[in-house]
Structure 1
């Protein structure tokens, strides 16, 4: 008799297998002539013949040959693709590296640990080129000769091109400050200014230690390349700074990389990027004093990463990109920010898409005065 529960997989006809058929045995469908692997119960050797019964015949050799030919062609194509991939691997990597090298920020980001929880960058030369941003951030006071910055790092602000800070999650003492100079580094001058003392070598680089008033631990510094210095509290942190490798931005975490590479403009004179984890709220409040709502614990717990930067102009623009765990969480955060009186009065604009929330506010003269009061109470 036929078995409705085990039809032909191709034509869906009910099949009455030949007498003596066992599970797993192959035979031919009498309707579509396709090969069937029987999955039903074993058929008795003396089973009666019915209208659905199948007349035993050999499996078609033609189909077996066709299947073999298809397999051989697919195998040949796979081998050709593998050979092509291996032969062009070097060229493809060189193209990727060339593309990565077009980002000038790589000159300092290459030294940063990929697990940094917070990165803050201050490009003094770009800030000096913007009168509005210089006034907003009080850059003139910073650029004065014998400013506190010289006592802290041995360089006058006017000699510095860029400052970049990397902070590991939950380890502020392991933070590292990178300084890029306009001229090649003169170690004798720096050592004299800081009155430092040698403290050994780390991965072939000499490290020196010096004192800062009211600082609990003496920081150390080391020359990384001709125009780059690194400062840290923990000297062993220098061991994480490997040799010069043009790795692009690929070593950064999956949360920081899209923020920096795709969101923050290359020419942004000042920017901050942070990723979720154990947020260092004291640092965030220090770097984002004008955005008190964003630095609250319950707000930060709802996001994966955040980037904030300033864009120069007659009226500078403050932009913020927030990455959330889901579109729903982003919508919730957007409504929350829209309800904050200060942000609403500042004319903040927001737009959300998928897991991203974009915020923008034009810093008018009136708003600049308010921000200065908030940052310098």
Structure 2
């Protein structure tokens, strides 16, 4: 690696080789509307390349990178930049994301004392994460869908425009239909269920409401990124890339999630999708060896461990589990 920059000519050459392969995969999962809505906040390479020392990463930069990744899985959900910052197409957006992730990962390795082969490993780890964007995008959407468990998604605006009353809603079992939709992995099942209310925009409005204002799915997305950076082995259907656990950065991402959302999810906790974190700002904690299934509903709680030994010491939560406020499972 160059002593003056993280971005030398060998990085550029290898980056574009991998970017071409990645874009073939991503063009199949982004609609033209999503690409148009995508806003990636650029960071100057000179800033990204500044060696961070023992602190290893600038928290403000990391927050920007995470916001950009959030944009990648839910275009238009996070950044609202002027047109002068709008990347023209998926190529530019993913190129910028590669630079930002590469810098964060390389800085992490350098801070941990890894010198040999840092450039190549950081580049591989970067594209292993970007290769998972289709999966991360799907998981984020199902986590947003799970937030429809909150009765408050039936807000005053929706009831007024659909000419519905609270009494009408009391007669409808939304919970079982939400669970069935998750089991089937078919959003159209829930759309068809809502059709009897004769108000066409309910589903899209509620999903927009969740994307714009609910923190739970964002907390889970932060965790998805942190968890991906702790994994080892080849990526599924990948271009022959083998990832290794990244030092320091997963914990920094988890710490940021705790700082902004008061949800302390250990980056190595295995968590399914279609989960609803209800009022996570009240506090939720998971541990390193914890396992959480899919379709769950969590109020603020602690899923902690009692042992100080390196073993399975945190709870294993199954699918479709409800855990209430201030519960502690140890």
**TM-score normalised by length of structure 2:** 0.28
In the superposition, the TM-score normalised over structure 1's length comes to 0.25
- Bigger RCO (CA 8 Å, 6+ sep): 2
Question: More strand by proportion, 1 or 2?
Answer: 1
More helix by share: 2
Bigger radius of gyration: 1
